[in-house]
Amino acid sequence: MGDSVEEFPRYTVLQRVGQSVLGLTKRMMQRNLARINPEKPSETSSSEQNYDEYGFSIPDNAFANGIMAYENSFNEKRERRLKRWEEIDLTDAWKTENPMYLKILIRKGIPDHYRARMWYTLSGASEFSQQMQGMYKILLDQPLDPQDANRIELDIYRTFPSNVNYMRDAQGAEKLRNVLRAFAKFAPSTGYCQSFNYLAGVLLLFMDEEMAFLTMVQMLDSRVPGKGMKILDYYNDGMLGLRRDILVLEMILQRRHRRLYNHLKKHVGDLTCICAEWFLCLFSISLPMPTLLRVWDSMFHEGDKILFRVAIALFKVHEKKLLKLEGDLLMYCKTMASGIVQHDEILKVAFYHLTFFRRRDIQQMRLQAVEKIREAEHTNQM
């Protein structure tokens, strides 16, 4: 990818919140995509290229070696945790009787071969499927708005281009196309938005396409009370949900890390240019994949408050470094998530060093944030 923001299609969701944010965030996404998922062809032929367990090519560099070294050092702990999963009976009755133990297990990471089943169940997608029997095929058979269809085609091969599943002629690319088309048809008021491709791309690493579609609905616009998330307003015109939750994040930072908050406001200003990518893509192009999967494990179980926990944890673990920076502060903030290889350590901070993260407190702050946004909009119109 080049440096020009024009390479990204004009439909990108960030266009809806102003050209200044659009330019900043597009450049941020370009840098991260170039760094994490390079599009340049490898000098090594595909037959000689090494891929990890999720289908991503393994570059021969220090960062990739660091991930592999950490994962190897984590194997013993991973095996102990796997045995705990194998010892339990994951029936609905067991889950009801052992909610805290289940929460602890999930926070310590769901084994890969359990993820499809657990994400599907925890998100409420399994319940939602009962309302949607036969609907996935019906949605695929219906004609799609030409603009959405074109936008999806543009993004298919931009989705994790270093992953063997989404390369040209790969079966995963067709599955991705189907999931995105079905979702755009299911949510016509939103249609297709850039970042949906990354969400579906991660789900399809573990699920078949219909499961991925149903889980994606529950991630963004839950139809099952008490499960999943309702954050489709992150992507709708005006992006009120995104603006609201970034303002909530600022409120939390101000209350818990006032010195860092003041430093960021002085040298960066609005945190949208840092955090928009995190929230829109649910960290899928920001964190290394093993770390992301651990985050999503708990996100499916505990809901969108996990987004705030992880965002605050990112600022907390980098706080000393951030307080020393001024001119380079914004650039450092934009890339700091990509280096979080040690997922056990960051999640200990997110879960056990950030206490009193109650859902009702977040809901109250959301109401306050919306009121502030409305007041600012009213003032600007005067």
Q: Phi and psi at residue 325, in whole multiples of 5°?
A: -100, 150
In 3D space, the residue among 102, 97, 99, 178 whose CA is nearest the CA of residue 142 turns out to be: 178
Q: Dump pLDDT digits (tens) for 269-300.
A: 999 999 999 999 999 999 999 999 999 999 99
- Confidence grade of residue 47 (pLDDT, cut at 50, 70, 90): low
Write the single-letter amino acid at 297.
D
**Cβ atoms of 5 and 22 closer than 8 Å:** yes
Mean of the per-residue pLDDT values for the chain?
88
- Confidence grade of residue 378 (pLDDT, cut at 50, 70, 90): confident
Q: Dump pLDDT digits (tens) for 211-247.
A: 999 999 999 999 999 999 999 999 998 999 999 999 9
Q: Does 6 score more than 60 pLDDT?
A: no
**Cβ atoms of 285 and 29 closer than 8 Å:** yes
Q: Does 312 score more than 90 pLDDT?
A: yes
Q: Does 1 score more than 60 pLDDT?
A: no
Q: Dump pLDDT digits (tens) for 96-146.
A: 889 999 999 999 999 999 999 999 999 999 999 999 999 999 999 999 999
Cα distances from 16 to residues 87, 203, 239, 326, in angstroms, run 49, 26, 7, 29
Q: Does 264 score more than 90 pLDDT?
A: yes
C-alpha 284 chain-centroid distance:
4
CA distance 123 to 121: 6
Overall size of the chain counted in residues: 382
In percent, the amount of the chain with pLDDT more than 90 equals: 74
The predicted model gives 14-20 an average pLDDT of 42
Weakest mean pLDDT among 83-92, 207-216, 297-306: 83-92
Q: Does 22 score more than 90 pLDDT?
A: no
- Confidence grade of residue 25 (pLDDT, cut at 50, 70, 90): very low
Q: Does 354 score more than 90 pLDDT?
A: no
Give one word for 14, left, alpha or beta, with left for phi > 0 and alpha for psi -120 to 50. alpha
Q: Dump pLDDT digits (tens) for 240-250.
A: 999 999 999 99
Could you give all domains of the chain from N- to C-terminal order, each with its CATH number? Answer: 233-381 (1.10.472.80)
CA distance 47 to 9: 32
- The partner residues of 221 in beta bridges, in order of sequence, read 230
The predicted model gives 349-361 an average pLDDT of 86
